[in-house]
Structure formats: structure tokens, C-alpha cells
Amino acid sequence: MNEKYLQPYNAENVEDAISKIWEESGFYNPDEMIKAGLTDPNAEAFSIVLPPPNVTGTLHTGHASMLAIQDIMVRYHRMLGKRTLWLPGTDHAAIATQSKVEKLLQKEKIRKHDLGRKAFLERVNTFAQDSHDTIVSQCKKMGASLDWSREAFTLDKEREHAVYTAFTQMYNDGLIYQKERIVNWDPKGQTTISDDEVVRENRKGTMYTFKYSHDFPFPIATTRPETKLGDTAVAVHPEDKRYQEYIGNEYSFNFAGEDVTVKIVADEHVDPEFGVGALGVTPAHSVADWDIAQRHNLPLKQVINEYGKMIVGMEGVKDVKVAAAREAVVEWLKSEGLLLVKEDTIQSVGTAERTGAVIEPLPKLQWWIDVNKKFPAKDSKIEDIEKGQMVSLKELMLHVVRNEQIDILPSRFEKTYFNWIENLRDWNISRQIWYGHRIPVWYKGDDIFVGTEAPSGDDWKQDEDTLDTWFSSGLWTFSTLGWPNTESDDFKTYHPTNILETGHDIIFFWVARMILMTTYLLGDIPFETVYLHGLVRDAKGRKMSKSLGNIIDPVDLIGKYGTDALRMALIVGNGPGGDVNLDENKIKAYSKFGNKLWNITRFVLTETESINLDKDFEYSLRDQELIKEQEELFQELTKEMNEFKYYLVSEKLYHYTWDTFASEILEESKTIFENGSTEEIHSRRQFLLHSLKMIVTMLHPFMPFITEEIWKDLKNNDDRDILMTVSWPTL
RNA sequence: GGGCGAUUAGCUCAGUUGGCUAGAGCAACCCGUUUACACCGGGUAGGUCAGGGGUUCGAGUCCCUUAUCGCCCACCA
């Protein structure tokens, strides 16, 4: 027996050595598996794309959990003999990365405009490269069997070509258009953001009820008096008796130094029960008011600029930030005797997901994707949609989930998905930041050119804006497989992918966008199953955050307990959609399990030292009984593997190994070895060896390192050298 | 305002399509080392499965209801 078993299991030494074996084998790459004769070239394909981590820093425990789940899926299918690809990459994460680098520059007292676009982007690229390198090494530490030879980046040349191709097609189909409309403006990030990048927060505010002027017939209420300088109407409910006589009238007056004219309009949107039942309409600075203005053809008047400062008004208001201007306007109302009521209220404030700034709705010229416009469907692999049939993006997105061509797990998220799509508005895809895919539109005078490359000839100027990062992420399942070349081997073999495993927090940002892009561009689905995992929380179930100081670094945990133990702690009891509380004690428990398995191996090897697995003999009655029990369990486990119930399989393997195999069978074996007949002893030795091989094989997707290490001492001549490439037991 | 989820042992949680005396890890208490493993073994204690009602031969599991907590979505000024 190998002397290593005389010492307790040392995860750290073993894991590094095993990683090396796997990487040097090249078997993460399915092509190498085929070359070595380990995978049948005609085998069914199985593919997953890694949700590309943002190059904004290092991986956290959430990533660790994601890697563990996906690696289980991948190793399992590889062992089933499938042509298995797990494709890695990273995401440039436009705004997130740019604002991170801006913060770093701020510490050096450098502003990005002083550097200029080119120098700034060099800084960002350096930062992104560092993050990338850290992420790659962390993925490897987790034992993730990713095919690095196919690694991609959302902002590299190949992906740019895919992005430009997609943009051009959508533009030519009239799905991408440019229009001035009210947008979510982030005054801190100096860019627009899409609706789902706006995080709503309930904050304390003050509701002011006042009259515009002494001549105005009735009061209105608002939480933002400073925007009233931009009012162009007052809306009331059409059936509200109090205001009937005023509908259609126009009133002009001076408000805090600005000449204002408002028209009284009747609109169903107004709730007569709320406040005074009359709403000052500010089309340029409120999304709801913009919609009212559209319905009544009202003029637009911008009073706040991109820096969140007032551009009109009296002294103390003009050129002042909105918060201070609000105070000034309220003071003015008081002094004029126009303020009637001031009361505390809770208001829902939109903030920018990345910068935390309060969103200032502003009218701006932007690029949009029309989700309602009908277009002829591409050559369609979508069930019940024929080629050329007129469909909208929204319809396609709903259709493929409704007809279960795409399955979402857990299924309750399907409802959430439908609800979101049904209320979807056009997608604002242009951003006023530097880091990202530059919009593939060029201008020369009044001419406009949209294409995958700059037009020939001088004086063409490319659009300054970049694309929303999710535009490129939306193409991920096929831009990584060679698209727009649909004839490439990878594309033909691995698309659509089988499973998308990701967090339920990005179902709208990403999952929905991938479905949008793929159904539109390919007339196909991007993946068959969406497996959504929850959040990794701390031991007490709290969200990990910097302010709570409860962030756990997966690398520290691996150093302490080993990757196998961490993986088990993240998997057991963690079903789809559920949050997992990561308790260090749980990891500790599974590191003990590793040692248990180690000692089981020691016992079995000691007792079976001189023998090989014998295929031609009959088990004793007792052993036949044990085999039967075992096979029943293993069949059940295989079924559960196919149902994505990794949380059950891992737990059951743990209990079988410890409570049944070690506590009962090994103990019983001691008696047999002492008192049994020759036949009984031989049978039991065979049984132990056989069982341990089965256990180690089935545990491999969960605890890849220790099982691979044990396999070295367990394999026979006719077994494959590397456990990763061994077949999953078929019973 | 709409939707979803949770509530099981001191703590953190499993419990798969309703089916034998409700489980795990950690914590607590007692005992055990001539060895596969003290990173261990054996044992003890601890739960009216949030409350109430219903369906059923049978409910932690299904239905209704109440309470508490949490999450997501939404243009109530």
C-alpha cells in the first residue's frame, strides 16, 4: 500500500498535483479526449458556457458555488461519454469596470478627461488584464474543468465582429433605431443606463402642496418642487369633478424666476385619490410625465442638465444642484405665501446600480432596440414559428419559454420571466462611457453608415458612444463558438448549449437578452435548460457585504480545508433557486469526510493488497445482498443526477460512504476476515474493492481531487488512467 | 399596488411524487484508543414540523386562512 495513506489526508499538496495532471493531460478540451480515443467522435455533445465573470476584481464565494455546480454537470456528462465542452471567458462589464478604474484614478488625483480616451482605455485594459489573470487562477484552484484553449472575452476582436454583425442586422431590420427620448441619466457615471440597471430605493422625502401662483386656480403636490420650473401641463383625472371646468385652459406665470406656461389636461393615469388629485407634468424630467406629454402632445422643457444642475431660474436656483435648488424653491414658495402643506412621505428613488447616484431622468438622443416591432423570422428552429413569419422580439422571448423549448429551473422563475417580458419597454443600448464596444455607426455630414467595419473614404466619424455591456453578453452562447461563421465545427457541434447555469439575479439582464439575441439572429434557442442558483450568504443567512465585514474569500477557505470540502459545503442542501448559507463548520465537516474516505481507502487497500478485481466468480449471498442494495442506490443517484438534484446525490453519497460502507460494511468485514471461509473472504475482498471504485467514481464530480488521487491506487490495468475520463457506472 | 418565497432540535439547514418510531452538521452531556480513521467510535438529551381549519386510511409534505420575516417587479406625483 502506498505510504501516503499512513498520514491524514492533506488536501493542499494533493490538489495542486492533481490540477497539474489534469491540465497537462489536455482533457478539458473535448478534441483531446477524442484524439486519445476516450470520447467517441460521434458521441452526443454536451456544452455549457461559463457565465463570464466581470473583470472588476476577484472571484467571491458566489462564483465558487457557480463553478462547483457547473463543474459537477460537466464532469458528470464527460463521464457519461459525451463530447463535453465547458467554455470559459470573462466579461468586460463596461460601466462596472470603468467606474472601478475611475475610482482608482481618483486616488491618484487623475481625471479621465485629462488622460484622454486612448490613455484611459490603456489603464482600463491593464486593470482588466490583472483581474482576468486572478480569475483564471481562481477557476483553476476550484478544479473547474474548463477548456481554456477556447477562452473568450466579451471585448476581444472575434466578439467585436459578432457584436457589429448583430448590430448591423438589427439596424437593417429596423429593430435598432436612434431617437430622443427620456432616459435614465446617471449624473455620476455621466451615462445613460437601461431600466433594469436602475435600483429603486425607498427614501424619506417631503411632499409639498402649493400653488404655482396666486392666480392659479388650485394647488398641486410634488416631492420635487425644483422640477416645476419645467412643467408644461397639469394633469387631472378626466372624471374628477373638482377640475372639470379648467380642462383645456392655459395659465402663464413666473415660477422661481422662470416663465412657465401650463395647460390643464385630462389623463386616466392620474389617481384622483392621491394628494390633491392634480399632477404638475414635467415631461423632461419624469418618465411618467413624459408618457403623459406624449399622449397630449405637450411641449418639452429641460431645466436640469447632465451634471444635475438647474439651467434656469432665479438667483440661488440657476446653476445650483437639484437638492440645493429644491431648498431654494421651497424658501421662495414660503416667502411668496404659496406653500400650503409640507408633510413627510416615503418616495421611491431610482439610483444607478453601479455608481449609486440618484438617477436624473433627462431627454437624450440614444440608440434603442425595438422589442415590439414585427420582422420576418429567420430560418427557424423554433417550434411553431415558421421561416418568414412576422414576429416581434417580445413574442419570440415569450414563445420559447411558454412552449417549453427552454426550461427554467426552478420553474417558479418562469412566472417572473413572463411578467418581465410582458412589461418590457424598448432597450436603451447606448452608453456615454469609453470602455466597451464602440457603436458601429459612422457619420459624414448628413450621411450615416452602419456596418461591421469603418467605411472607406475620409471624414467618416464614428459614434462616440459605446454599447450596453449586456449587448455583447447576449451573444455569448454563440459568439464564443465562431458565429457569425455558422459553418464552424464548434458552432455546429455545440450550439445550442445544453444548460445555462447562473444566478437568478441576472435572469433579466442576461438570460432574457441571450434569448432575445439568439431567437432573433439564429432563429434558435441559446440553451435548453436554465438552472438558476441562489445567493451564497454568511453562516447566519446574511448577505455578504463589505459594510458587514462578513465577506468570505474562497481562496482562504480552500487553503484551510481544501477545494473538495468547499465544493461539498456549497453543494449539499443547495437546490436550484435556493440561497445557501456558508457555515465554516460545514466545510470543516466535509474536510473530515475527505479524511474518512482516505482512511476507508487505507483499510480496503490493506485488506486487498495482493488481489486484482476478479471478474469470474460468484459473490457470497451476503455480498450479493449488499451489491443489490448498492445498485439500487446508485441507480437512484443516476436518476437524480439527470434531474439536476446534485444537492441530494452529494448528501446520499456522503451518508452511504460513511454510515453504511464505513460504519457497517467495513466493521462487518473485520469479522469475516477473521472467521469467514476462504470463499467468503475472497468475495468480501472483491466486494470492497469494487464498492470503493464505484464510490470514488460517483463522488468524482463532487470531490474531484481526492477521488482522482485515490484512483491512482485503485485502478486495474484495464481501467483508464485518469478518473476524470472514466465512465460513469451503468447499472 | 402586483407577484414569489420562507417559518422543522440551542444555531444553520435537509426532508425528492403525502407512507413505517421526523433527519444532518455544529453546539451540549456521558463513555471509549492493542489501530482503517481521535479529522475517530459508541451513547444521551433536545422538536405539539409558526397558529388555526380542511382533504385523506394516512399530512412536515396537498388545499384554505392568520401571523411574522424576506425577495422581486411597478411611471402614484
Cell of A383: 417550434
A589 nearest nucleotide via C1' and CA: B25
Task: Give me the CA A592–C1' B39 separation in Å, rounded.
Answer: 5
Contact, A253 CB vs strand B, < 7 Å: no
Give me the CA A638–C1' B48 separation in Å, rounded.
39
Rounded distance in angstroms from the CA atom of residue A655 to the C1' atom of nucleotide B24:
9
User: What's the pLDDT score for residue A274?
Assistant: 82
Q: What is the mean pLDDT of each run of 10 residues along chain A (731 residues)?
A: 88 94 97 97 97 90 92 96 97 92 92 92 96 95 96 97 98 95 91 88 88 94 94 92 92 95 92 86 93 92 94 94 94 94 86 89 94 90 92 93 88 85 90 96 95 92 96 97 95 96 90 95 95 83 74 87 92 81 85 93 89 78 89 87 88 89 90 90 92 94 96 90 94 69
Element (H, E) at A38: none
Q: Which of residues 66-95 of A have CB within 7 Å of strand B?
A: none
Find the Å distance, CA of residue A647 to C1' of nucleotide B53: 35
A589 strand B contact, CB < 7 Å: yes
Q: Phi and psi for A570 in degrees, rounded to 5?
A: -80, -20
- CA of residue A268 to C1' of nucleotide B20, angstroms: 63
Q: What is the pLDDT of residue A584?
A: 84
Measured CA A571 to C1' B7 distance, in angstroms: 23
Q: Is the CB of A484 under 7 A from strand B?
A: no
The predicted pLDDT at position A146 comes to: 98
Residue A200 approaches strand B within 7 Å at CB: yes
Give yes or no for CB of A337 within 7 Å of strand B: no
Helix (H, G, I), strand (E, B) or coil at A497: strand
Q: How far is the CA of A653 from the C1' of B45 (A)?
A: 29
Closest nucleotide (C1' vs CA) to A573 is B14
A224 touches strand B (CB under 7 A): yes
C-alpha A275/C-alpha A272 separation (Å) is 8
Residues 492-521 of A with CB under 7 A from strand B: 505, 508
Q: A194-362 — its CATH code?
A: 3.90.740.10
Q: How far is the CA of A652 from the C1' of B11 (A)?
A: 23
Half-sphere exposure of A251 (CA within 13 A, CB side): 19
Considering only residues 556-585 of protein chain A, which place a Cβ less than 7 A from any atom of strand B? 573, 575, 578, 581, 583, 585
Note the pLDDT of residue A403.
Answer: 87
CA distance A302 to A285: 7
Facing residues of A49 across strands? A87
Does the CA dihedral A385-A389-A391-A393 come out positive or negative?
A: positive
CA distance linking residue A188 with residue A99, whole number of Å = 10
The pLDDT of residue A543: 78
Q: Name residues whose C-beta falls within 8 Å of residue A664's C-beta, 6 or more positions apart in sequence.
A: none
What three-state secondary structure class fits A422?
helix
| Predicted local distance difference test score (pLDDT) of residue A705 | 96
Strand B contacted by A596 CB (< 7 A): yes
CA separation for the pair A689, A210 (Å, rounded): 86
Distance A418 CA to B73 C1' (A): 11
A344 touches strand B (CB under 7 A): no
Q: Residue A467 has which C-alpha cell? A: 454599447
Helix (H) / strand (E) element for A462: namely strand A461-462
Q: How far is the CA of A534 from the C1' of B62 (A)?
A: 26
Contact A695, A657 (CB under 8 A): yes
A283 touches strand B (CB under 7 A): no
Q: Protein A729 CA to nucleic acid B47 C1', in Å? A: 40
Chain B positions with a protein C-beta closer than 7 Å: 3-5, 11-16, 25-27, 36-37, 39-42, 72-77
Q: How far apart are CA A585 and CA A454, in angstroms?
A: 58
Strand B interface, A 628-657, C-beta < 7 A:
640, 645, 647-648, 651
Residue spans per domain, chain A: 168-187+366-405+417-467, 194-362
pLDDT the model gives residue A659: 87
Question: In the 664-683 stretch of chain A, whose C-beta falls under 7 Å of nucleic acid strand B?
Answer: 666-667, 670
- Supply the pLDDT for residue A30: 98
CA of A234 to C1' of B74 (A): 23
- A511: cell is 438570460
Answer for A217: CB within 7 Å of strand B. no
Residues 418-447 of A with CB under 7 A from strand B: 419-420, 423
The one-letter amino acid code at A182 reads: I
Distance A431 CA to B34 C1' (A): 76
A195 CB less than 7 Å from any atom of strand B: yes
CA of A120 to C1' of B58 (A): 71
Cα A235-A238-A242 angle, rounded to 5 deg: 80
- Give yes or no for CB of A26 within 7 Å of strand B: no
Tell me, what's the pLDDT at A201?
84
Cross-strand bridge partners of residue A360? A185
